[in-house]
Amino acid sequence: MSEMINKLVDEKLNKIFADYPDTADLQELQEELESDLIASSEDKKTVDVTEEAAVAAAFKEFGDIDEVIDQVLDENQDKDNHYRKTIQEHHIDLDDDGIRIDNGKLLNINDDGITINNGKTISINSEGVKLGNMVINEDGINFNGKKSKESFDEVNANFKDTDFDTEVHVESMPLTDESEFSTTDIKKMDIFSENAYLKILPTNGQKIVIREYMSRSNPDYQVKAEIVDDTLVVKQGRVPHFLPLRIKTQILIPKEFTGKLRITNRSGSLLLQNMDNIDQALINVHSGLVNIRNISINQLLIQSTSGKIVLEDVDVKNSLSVNAKSGIIKLDDVFSPDYNIQANSGTIRGLDLSGAGSITAKSGTIKIEFEKITSDVKVSNNSGTIKLMMPEHDSYDFDLEARSGVVKMNQAANYKHDVLSLKEGRVGTGPQYKLTAKANSGTIKVN
């Protein structure tokens, strides 16, 4: 690294920032700009390009720095003004019961859902979603009581998830760094990502390959990887606070790798695809899309704060655990002899779900079509609808109860109890398992 380039960049930035207030945010912005511009200048420095010319080209390529500074100053001023205006004009309550603005008239968030403007503008609860005069619920999409041409399920059926790329695809951003590691002594991989689009794919080779594509070429932003004992630790590089940065990271793992994966992704997207021999994967995400496709694994654990979790063609030989605080859980052709699917708020949808275990939601809709059930199944929803499609020729005991709702059993059955909110009995003759479904409020439908 050239000391002259460092000096030239520092002098230019000091001259620009001298006309602005000395705030913590601007100090951080100057540090980010310095790192970025030094890296850019180093790339441009060649035998035929002097250090002065390289620095001048880096500043010219970056563009108007004053505009970036003004934007940071404007954003901070807007935040301060908005905060003062909010405190002066509205009454805000935050407690264990939720969040209320103007005693819930302007905004009310609690366990029952979300309303804005007393529900006239937006209302989201167990009965569906209301946006102005549009209502979305289990009956479809309605405008002032008139049903649209497409039902809600038809809209979902036509929706396609992102068409994820494979190893052979060339990324749209330039490849900034690539590294390889032998798997001889590696039994575990710890992957920490802040905001990258992370793809974990198989390779026919014998080495783990890490490729990173970035919108900015700066070594400070590049991934850092090292082997610690028997673990390959992969960490995303420094993330600038003010400067925009897009990152796509590919981690290619040999198909024969039988170790464990631990993946932490704060925000962004994660794709894990086409792996057959991994022993265990522990995935923790804060927000964004998690897509697990076409894998066979012994144990899979996914925890998400918000976002969407999609599992497609997944075979879990032992235990499967999915826990989402908010967002959608979508299961398509998934098997586990011991699954535990939980959503605090949001929708759980399953197509061709197989195995046994429990499915729990605090609010929202649970809709599951079972392909094969191997042992007892428990489904519970605090407030919302439960819809279950059972395997056609199965025999099973059932206990269905909606404390303040309706239970509908649409299969021929022998009943011990048959009332509006409680149905208990047996389908068929020799029961293979027991189905238990409970809801505090809402409807339970079994077909």
Express each pLDDT in 409-418 by its tens digit: 999 999 999 9
Same domain, 96 and 48: no
Whether residue 61 lies inside any domain: the answer is: yes
Quick one: residue 442, left, alpha or beta (phi over 0 = left, psi -120 to 50 = alpha)?
A: left
Q: What is the mean pLDDT of residues 364-387?
A: 95
Are 108 and 95 in contact by the 8 Å Cβ rule? The answer is no
Phi, psi of 104 (to 5 degrees): 90, -5
Same domain, 199 and 294: yes
Q: What is the mean pLDDT of residues 89-108?
A: 68
Are 186 and 227 in contact by the 8 Å Cβ rule? The answer is yes
Here the tokens at position 18 are 């001298």
Q: What is the mean pLDDT of residues 117-142?
A: 71
Same domain, 120 and 95: yes
CB atoms within 10 A of CB 149: 7
Here the tokens at position 91 are 């009454």
Here the tokens at position 381 are 């929803």
Q: Residues 207-226: pLDDT tens digits?
A: 999 999 998 888 899 999 99
Same domain, 154 and 199: no
Q: What is the mean pLDDT of residues 169-178?
A: 76
Share the mean pLDDT of the chain: 86
Domain boundary among 68, 88, 108: 88
Q: What is the DSSP string of 161-196?
A: ------TTSPPSSPEEEEEEEESTT--EEEEEESS-
Are 129 and 135 in contact by the 8 Å Cβ rule? The answer is yes
Confidence band, pLDDT 50/70/90 cuts, at residue 120: low
Q: What is the mean pLDDT of residues 184-209?
A: 95
| Residues whose CB falls within 8 Å of the CB of residue 65, separated by 6 or more in sequence, listed in order | 13, 16, 33, 59
Whether residue 375 lies inside any domain: the answer is: yes
Whether residue 273 lies inside any domain: the answer is: yes
Same domain, 305 and 230: yes
Pairwise CA distance, residues 149 & 146, whole Å: 10
Q: Residue 368: is its pLDDT beyond 80?
A: yes
* Domain that includes residue 446, residue range: 347-447
pLDDT of residue 170: 47
Domain count, the chain: 4
The dihedral formed by the CA atoms of 169, 172, 176 and 180, expressed in degrees to the nearest 10: -10
Same domain, 189 and 70: no
Q: Which residues pair with 438 in a beta bridge?
A: 380, 401
Same domain, 134 and 68: no
Same domain, 434 and 444: yes
Same domain, 247 and 257: yes
**Which of the two residues, 58 and 110, has the higher pLDDT score?**
58
The span from the first CA to the last CA of the chain, in angstroms, equals 69
Whether residue 336 lies inside any domain: the answer is: no
Same domain, 386 and 260: no
